[in-house]
Each structure stands twice: as structure tokens, then as C-alpha cells.
Amino acid sequence: MTTLDTPAPAVPVTPAARAVRAWHTLRSSRTAVIGLAVVAVHVLIALLAPLLTSYDPVANDAGQALLGPGRHHWAGTDQYGRDVLTRVLYGGRYALGVSAAATVLTIALGTVIGCTAALRGGWFDDLLGRVLDAVLSVPSILALLVVVTALGTGPAVIVLAVAVVYVPQVVRVIRGAALAVVPADYVTAARARGEGTWSILRREVLPNIVDVVCVEFAMRASWVVLLISSLSFLGFGAAPPTPDWGLMVAENRTAITVVPMASLAPIIALATLVVGLNLAADGLSKAWGVDRIRKGSR
């Protein structure tokens, strides 16, 4: 009946300790590790492309056009005589860069709007819900095409367009997660202290939905990569000489019977990236779910 009895584990809570714990959680899921490894390899290749190949991804060489896989060109060449492997290695830069920017923007906007809707409630939430319903009822590729046709095809426009298309879905997910946190007494306590919406969001709500946000990020990234590559394929993304997977498939599909590798290679690259992102999202959500059950926290 002493009052100073303390449970045994005296683990200090430092950011480092938190990172270590997150890492252990992550390690516990093989799916997540494999997925993240695949994504990491893609990122590394895109960054180190100039070191991995000696060919120029853009320069034409008519004499080397439409070669099959061989000693000099492992994946052959396309109709302009450019090395396919080189273009695939460089091709990740555009897709990854634009996708990362678009996903970060989408998730950031979606998280802030979703949390605010959950915290504020009332007319703000109602109005937002109806607006999002309206946006969600437009097919995403159609909405994208409209934005791109109206504003041009620069990477900035694409990032913005993707955000417009995907923010409503992210808002839905984050709002749902935040709604579970908002009735908690610690949020009420912050309200009773008279704190503003932004401060409550940052201090009380966000730390408790970080896992949902991360999973949403990984999952949304795979959708965004696909969408951006589809845009390139349709001719609205990367401009022609740029090495880009979607664009490469579009350029080389006429010659698919002559040099199938020219179309297949970018498809394989794209597919592995998307599968990697999906595995990461899946693994993370499971690892965190199990973690929550074990730790008994909400």
C-alpha cells in the first residue's frame, strides 16, 4: 500500500529510444522489410544511374537502332538507338521524384484537413464532407486530364493535379483515424486549457495517428506512381526525350514485336516499384496493428 511503487521497466523516452522501438516494430514484419528494401533499391538506382551506366539516356544513335539484347546493350536499344537499360535506370528519376513530391503534398494536405475536420466537427466537417463527395465522384484520370489540359504539363502542375485527385481520399482515412482520438480525455483536457485547433492537432492528435499516416503514405505512393506513369503513357507527363517508364512504354509499343525488351523493361521496373510500395504499406500496417495489440495502447 505504499504510494511510490513503480513498475520495473524504467525506460526513458527519448527520440532515439522511440526510433529504436519503431525500428524493432518494423523489423518484426518481413513483408515490410522486403517492401522497403525494394523501394530503397529503386531510389538508389535512380540516384546512382550515371555511375551504373556509361551510355547517354537521351542521345540518338541511328546506327544502333532496334538492337536485341546483347553484350554491349544488355536490354537492347530502342528505335532511336538509345540503350534501353540506361533509359530504365534513369527513368526512375522522373517517376520517383514527381511521385514523392505529389505524395508528400497529398498526405500533408490530407492529414491537416482530415484532423481539422475531426477536431472542429460541426458545419466545417459537414461542408467539407459534401465537397469531398463531389470531388470523389469524378473519375481520377479524367480530373487529372482536365487539370493538365488547363494548366499545362510541367512537373509542378502534375504534382498539384495529383494532390487535387487524391487529397479527398486521404482526408477520409485520416479523419476516420482522428475521430477515434478526438473524444479522448487528453484532447478534452487540451480544450479545457483553451488551446487552439492547430496546437491540439500537432501535440495531441498527430502523435497518435502517426502509424495511420505512414501506412497511408506508403499505400498512396504506389497509386501515385501508377497514376503518373499512366499520364506519361498518355502523353501528358514527361516530355519526349526525357527517360521515363510510362513514356518508354508508349514510345516502344509500336516496335513491341521487334524489340520486346524496350517495352518490357520499363514495365518490369514500374511493377517492382509498385509491388515494393504495396508490400511496405501492408507490412507496416500489420506490424503496427500487432504492436498496438501487444502494447495494449489505442
Residues at the site binding other proteins, with contacts judged by CB under 8 A: 1, 3-7, 9-13, 184-186, 188-189, 191-196, 203-204, 207-208, 210, 295-298
Between helices 260-295 and 15-27, what is the axis angle to 10°? 120
Sign of CA dihedral 159, 161, 164, 170: negative
What is the per-residue DSSP string for 93-129?
Answer: HHHHHHHHHHHHHHHHHHHHHHHHHHHH-HHHHHHHH
In the bound complex, what is the minimum distance in angstroms from residue 183's beta carbon to other proteins? 9
- Give the residue with the Cβ less far from other proteins, 149 or 188: 188
71 or 298, CB closer to other proteins?
298
Closest separation between CB of residue 275 and other proteins, Å?
A: 32
193: left (phi over 0), alpha (psi -120 to 50) or beta: alpha
Q: Given the complex with other proteins, which of 54 and 297 has the nearer CB atom?
A: 297
Region for 130 from its dihedrals, namely left if φ exceeds 0, alpha if ψ lies in -120 to 50, beta otherwise: alpha
In the complex with other proteins, the residue whose CB is nearer, 80 or 124, is: 124
Helix (H/G/I), strand (E/B), else coil: 77? strand
| Smallest separation (angstroms) from other proteins to the CB of 129 | 21
Q: Tell me how far, at minimum, the Cβ of 81 lies from other proteins, in Å.
A: 57
CB of 185 to other proteins, least distance (A): 4
In the complex with other proteins, which residue's Cβ is closer, 63 or 194? 194
Say which residues have a Cβ less than 8 Å from residue 266's Cβ, sequence separation at least 6: 87, 88, 91, 245, 246, 248, 249
User: Closest CB to other proteins among 191 and 286?
Assistant: 191
231, three cell numbers: 499520364
The minimum distance between CB 297 and other proteins, in angstroms, equals: 5
- Residue 138 phi, psi dihedral angles, 5° rounding: -90, 130
Cell of 68: 536485341
